[in-house]
Amino acid sequence: MFKFEGRTAVISGGAEGIGFAIAKALGEQKMNIVLADIDEQCLLKSVEELESLGIPVLALCWMWLMKCNGIQLPNKQKINLARYIWS
């Protein structure tokens, strides 16, 4: 049996559907969850639900990275920004 407690799962498309179900199941196994999605409203709702269950979760909306305060960034800079946010 694998031990998941304390590990971190990054789930793209995690705000709803299968991604959210996986996030919830892994969170129930005491994993830290990073939910990434493009739908900001759905993402925030999903984070609220996971937090209400006591699951540690970090939201990462791809649209936040792409907008970056109205400045369009090349893909390489978006990736670097995501790494910065994560660290």
- Condensed to tens digits (0 to 9), the pLDDT of residues 9-68 reads 999 889 999 999 999 999 999 999 988 888 888 988 999 999 999 999 988 887 665 555
Token reading at 54: 């006591």
pLDDT at position 1 over 60: yes
Q: Output the DSSP codes for 16-29.
A: SHHHHHHHHHHHHT
pLDDT of residue 38: 85
In this prediction, residue 50 carries a pLDDT of: 94
The H-or-E segment that residue 83 falls in is: helix 75-86
pLDDT given at position 85: 52
Question: Taking the model in full, what pTM does it have?
Answer: 0.71
Per-residue pLDDT for 87 more than 70? no
* pLDDT in the model for residue 2: 78
